Amino acid sequence: MAGGGQAAVSFLTRIAKVAAGIGVAASAASTSLFTVDGGERAVIFDRLRGVLPGTESEGTHFLVPFLQKPFIFDIRTRPHSFSSTSGTKDLQMVSLTLRVLSRPDVDRLPEIFNSLGLEYDEKVLPSIGNEVLKAVVAQFNADQLLTERPHVSALVRESLTQRAREFNIVLDDVAITHLAYGPEFAQAVEKKQVAQQEAERSRFLVARAEQERRAAIVRAEGESEAARLISEATTIAGNGLIELRRIEAAKEIAGVLARSPNVSYIPAGDNGQMLLGLNAAR
């Protein structure tokens, strides 16, 4: 019985050693393998050599346990939005919201990891976005941001793409999604409209005065010409023309008076004068 017990103990000890060996081997295998999913890249940090220059693509890869450590980067395009309040060329405050689609330059991932780390986009994009927005908006008046919005967006896109390239970040799209003016701009627009209306009214008054002046000149010229013609006719025909005009005027006056029911004619004597009597209404 004693020999059988020792054999059992020995057998169990061998099984324990084998299990321990398998466990150590499995642990070593798990620590020496890592997986890179689709849309990702891995940068390897080596405790002896630092960040290795290359990157690891999708799949399962080997590394030296306890000496190397993988850092996974998401290389898919991701959206980022940030807002900025900037001053225009005519000193108006404008609030803008910018949306960018960014991704890292895959060939430069080791440099990005060394200089910025895994959160490279959150560290860089908001700061350079505000910088570019302020620089571009300052080149335009407040109203030009609306009338020339495609040109403004193109300048923002070009400038921001160049600045992001300095940090090894690729921008696939840049767009201004929101544009709002402050209350001061609304007041300035209202004052400008009132000033334009006043200017239009002033121009109208000047034009009307000019037309009246020209009409007065034409009337004066016509009266002068009529007086000249009457003078010439009087010189040629004598006072006959004046007598004719006086008779025509007297006939017109007599006709007007005859049509009035409140006028009566009373002879005044041999001198031919008449007394006009107006019947008072009762």
pTM over 0.75: no
State the average pLDDT over residues 82-88.
88
Give the residue with greater pLDDT, 263 vs 43: 43
In this predicted structure, what is the pLDDT of residue 131?
92
Residue 242's Cβ-side half-sphere holds a number of Cα atoms within 13 Å equal to 8
Euclidean distance between CA atoms 256 and 252, whole angstroms:
6
In this predicted structure, what is the pLDDT of residue 281?
47
Is residue 21 pLDDT above 80, yes or no? Answer: no
Percent of the chain with pLDDT over 90: 34
Buried b (16+ CB within 10 A) or exposed e, 100-112: bebbbeeeebbbb
Give the residue with greater pLDDT, 8 vs 47: 47
In this predicted structure, what is the pLDDT of residue 32?
79
Residues 100-146: tens digit of each pLDDT: 999 999 999 999 999 999 999 999 999 999 999 999 999 998 888 88
Average pLDDT in the chain: 80
In this predicted structure, what is the pLDDT of residue 195?
76
Euclidean distance between CA atoms 128 and 171, whole angstroms:
12
Q: Is 60:67 a contact under the CB 8 Å cutoff?
A: no
What beta strand segments (E) does the chain contain?
33-36, 40-46, 50-56, 59-62, 68-74, 78-87, 93-104, 169-181, 263-267, 274-278
Domain positions in the chain: 27-74, 78-181
DSSP-based three-state secondary structure for 268: coil
Q: How far is CA 231 from CA 140, 240, 241, 245, in A?
A: 70, 12, 10, 13
Instruction: List the single range of 36-45, 91-100, 166-175, 246-255 with lowest mean pLDDT.
Output: 246-255
In this predicted structure, what is the pLDDT of residue 275?
44
Query: Which CATH code is given to the segment(s) 78-181?
Result: 3.30.479.30
